[in-house]
Amino acid sequence: MVSQVVSKFGGTSMGDADCMRRSAEVAAQRNSRLVVVSATSGTTNDLILLGKTAQSGQWPESEALLQKIRSRHEGIGNDLGITSEQKARLAEVLEEAESIARGIFLLRDCSLKAMDTLMSLGERLSSILFSKAMSEALKNKSATTPVRWLDAREVLRTDDQFGKAKAATEEISKLCREKWADLIQAQAVGVTQGFIGSTEEGATTTLGRGGSDYSAALLAEGLSADILEIWTDVPGIATTDPRICSLAKPIEEISFKEASELATFGAKVLHPATLLPAIRRNIPVFVGSSFDAGQRGTWVRREVKEAPLIRALALRRKQVLVTLSTPEMLHAHGFLAKIFRVFDDHKVSVDAITTSEISVSLTLEDSALLNKRLLQDLSQFADVKTEENLTLISLIGNSINHTPGLGKRIFDAIGDINVRMICLGASKHNFCFLVDGDKADEAIRRLHRSFIET
């Protein structure tokens, strides 16, 4: 039996007609059953800007943005020679963009709900165009397989947290089985949108920026696919960011656990939630470059052949260290529960934590500080101190908490760079610490030299 493959192509792989053709060739080559696409690169940003511009009452500027979006997509459509039916569909979505922008302009109100519908247009446009590229690629392979454009909102059920909706995974799997499973059995290739979903009431939602990877994984789970492929513009997951360290190299194989830590602690290749559905259904994930599909790429799987002590280094910039101190913590209980309830109420996620007898330090994304109420609420329980412009550096690998001498090797490598906080022990796959933002790149280069290049 042939493997059921779900492939996702990111924005740069949708960049123009040539990119779409190249991506479609890749999908045809790999016998993809379902192709999940992002918006063409830059379009989501343009749509967000459109929403904000219309909201602020600038109609001529909004029209200019609409025109930019329109001509980009019509241009690609002409290059690909889309059918008249596809042209009509494209025109309909573009008209919808104009109507929504006008509505936002008239009301001077761009709610998260309106923004989600506006942003969804990016993926809806690119997927119409990509359907054409896909049929051509199949024809070139002399395949008679039809292509079916599918609206992801039929199956990708979410809650109504607009802007960052939560996927209803069981419902998605049920809907996939009911509505799309036949497609995967029958000889048709589906083309659908990443990033977007809908509530039970039919309102359009999005999964948060970069969410197309996660969509593809949810659909792969729902369709019980054998393989999930994430096609991007880099040849797989690298040992660290190649822009920081020129000797970074692609990783051939990495375990689910290591890759989850890597995605969460800053590697940009995969959306952090992507691996959850893959782990649940044990679906191997391939990450590769649609621009150079012949390269090896990276496989992410449950079982891997090698388990090196340090596989990769990740970094997360713009971290804030929040230190909460109170003598009340001395010999008391319930203090941590109180403060974490505050983070929960504000839906702020905490990344690394250390504690002493009367204080707790934890790291947050610096955007969390925009929420002034968060700090006010925390200061009801403790003195609050914040330090900004820090970077969280993570070493990702195996047996990290059972390897004598590892700490010495790490601190010897970073030498005189001050470490502001350390987290070790919670996971055998991760050792992370905080440094000054402007020392982070140097720390990464030194650690890469010491642990990966040798």
Q: Does 4 bind ligand ASP (CB under 6 A)?
A: no
Q: Do the Cβ atoms of 421 and 433 come closer than 8 Å?
A: yes
Q: How far is the CB of 28 from Mg ion (least distance, A)?
A: 22
Q: Does 19 bind ligand ASP (CB under 6 A)?
A: no
> In which element (H, E) is residue 155 found?
none
* Token pair of 22 as six digits: 């190249």
Give residues in contact with Mg ion (CB under 5 A): 10, 210
Q: Take residue 238 and report the two structure tokens written for it.
A: 């690298």
263 close to 272: Cβ distance less than 8 angstroms: yes
How far CA 96 is from CA of 36, 191, 401, 408, in Å, comes to 22, 21, 54, 60
Q: How does 261-274 read in b/e, with b if 16+ C-beta sit within 10 Å?
A: bbbbbbbebbbbbb
* Tokens encoding 273: 């939630």
411 in Cβ contact with 419 (< 8 Å): yes
Q: Are 225 and 285 in contact (CB under 8 A)?
A: no
**Interface pattern 203-232 for ligand ASP (x via CB under 6 A):** ------xxxx--------------------
Q: Binding mask 79-118 vs ligand ASP (x if CB under 6 A, - otherwise)?
A: ----------------------------------------
Give 77 or 210: the residue with its C-beta nearer to Mg ion.
210
Pick between residue 197 and residue 210 the one whose CB is nearest to ligand ASP.
210
If one asks whether residue 122 binds ligand ASP (CB under 6 A), the answer comes out as yes
Does residue 38 touch ligand ASP according to CB under 6 A?
Answer: yes
Within 141-200, the residues that bind ligand ASP by CB under 6 A are: 194-195
Dist CA 313 CA 222 (whole Å):
32
Pick what 451 binds: ligand ASP, Mg ion, none; C-beta below 5 to 8 Å, kind-dependent.
none
Piece of 38-46, 280-288, 337-345, 441-449 that binds ligand ASP (CB under 6 A): 38-46
The Cα–Cα gap between 431 and 428 comes to: 8
Q: Nearest distance from residue 121's CB to ligand ASP, in Å? A: 10
Q: Measured from the CB atom, is 48 or 413 closer to ligand ASP? A: 48
Q: Which two tokens stand for residue 298?
A: 């990276």
Residue 412 CB, shortest distance to Mg ion, in Å, is: 36
Q: How far is the CB of 206 from ligand ASP (least distance, A)?
A: 8
Tokens of 425: 């022990």
Closest approach, Cβ 196 to ligand ASP, in A, equals 9
Should residue 272 be labelled a site residue for ligand ASP when binding is judged by CB under 6 A?
A: no
Beta bridge partners of 320: 364
The residues binding ligand ASP (CB under 6 A) are 10-11, 38-39, 44, 122, 194-195, 209-212
